[in-house]
Amino acid sequence: MTLTSVQSLAIAGIVGLLSGTHTAIWGMYKDAVHEGFTFRRFTRSMVIGAGVAVLIQSVLHLALPAVHALAVLFGLAYAAKRGIVEVWKTFLRDEDQSKYFIPMQFSVRGIPVASRAARMSLGAAYVATIAGCLVAIARLDLSATLSPQLRAALAGLIAGVIVAVGGGWKDAPKEGFDAMKFLRSPAISLFYAILLSRLTESSLIIAVAAIGYERATAETYKTFCFPSKPRGKFTGKPVLHPQMLQRRIYFVPAYVAISLAAVVSLSLAAAP
């Protein structure tokens, strides 16, 4: 490996670490008052984020430390990390679901599937379906009739629908179907896809990075615009760790700093 490649992987690790820290903080901010704070749970997102970012960089060879490459990698790492953790929580992890209002394990009409073997089979089918959707998005680049802007818009919309369908399957049986909530993810991912189309021509990279930025935006809005409202999975559940209401505030400056860095990087890179 050349010195340049080692440096780019190190930079990628830092970007992934920051993206993982971002997800760890918003997750802790809402959940710790109900289930407590553990160092292992908090650092899990950071470690996974760093790992997936290094892997992504080793495959894509983004032009780090160029600002456009940093912006793209942040979105890619965010989406990859969230995807890995959600698949693990939904299909692989065995956990007492009684502490949740909305089950975190794969459920049918709000009732968790008890069989781990069944969940693993369903998880394999889910991953295959998502992979098929990503292949379809990648094939948009082969179209000679679609403009780059239209390809990016379609990639963003498809990515947003994937997120919305997954969220709706989990939440709607308990919370009811909310059309505005369902459409939020496609709208946000479309916005970011248009910005990202100025940084890369790859529809696949645009779609995945748009998912990352959509998740970061949506979770920031839900967490910090409504700090007293519990996450849907803990609706109606008691606050068992009230000390975290104060301690969680100490993490906010780091969250704001990472958010500003991501926004500034994306804005500078996408500027005309």
| pLDDT tens sequence across 27-41 | 999 999 999 999 999
Specify whether the CB–CB gap between 194 and 252 falls below 8 A.
no
Helix (H) / strand (E) element for 107: namely strand 107-108
Instruction: Check whether 200 has a pLDDT greater than 90.
Output: yes
Instruction: Check whether 3 has a pLDDT greater than 70.
Output: no
pTM beyond 0.75: yes
Total domains in the fold of the chain: 1
* Pair of tokens at residue 184: 């939020």
* Pair of tokens at residue 205: 């990279």
Report the distance separating Cα 105 and Cα 91, nearest Å: 6
Report the distance separating Cα 225 and Cα 255, nearest Å: 14
Instruction: Check whether 270 has a pLDDT greater than 90.
Output: yes
| pLDDT tens sequence across 152-191 | 999 999 999 999 999 999 888 888 888 888 999 999 999 9
- Its domain, for residue 213, covers 3-270
Burial of 151 (0-12, 13-18, 19+ CB in 10 A): buried
Mention every residue, 6+ apart, whose C-beta is less than 8 A from residue 171. Answer: 102, 181, 232
User: Which residue in this structure is represented by tokens 């399957």?
Assistant: 169
| pLDDT tens sequence across 72-100 | 999 999 999 999 999 999 999 998 888 89
* 68 pLDDT tier (thresholds 50, 70, 90): very high
The percentage of the chain sitting over the pLDDT mark of 90, rounded to a whole number, equals: 79
User: What's CA 40's distance to the chain center, in Å?
Assistant: 20
User: Using alpha carbons only, what angle is made at residue 11 by residues 48 and 156, rounded to the nearest 5 degrees?
Assistant: 65
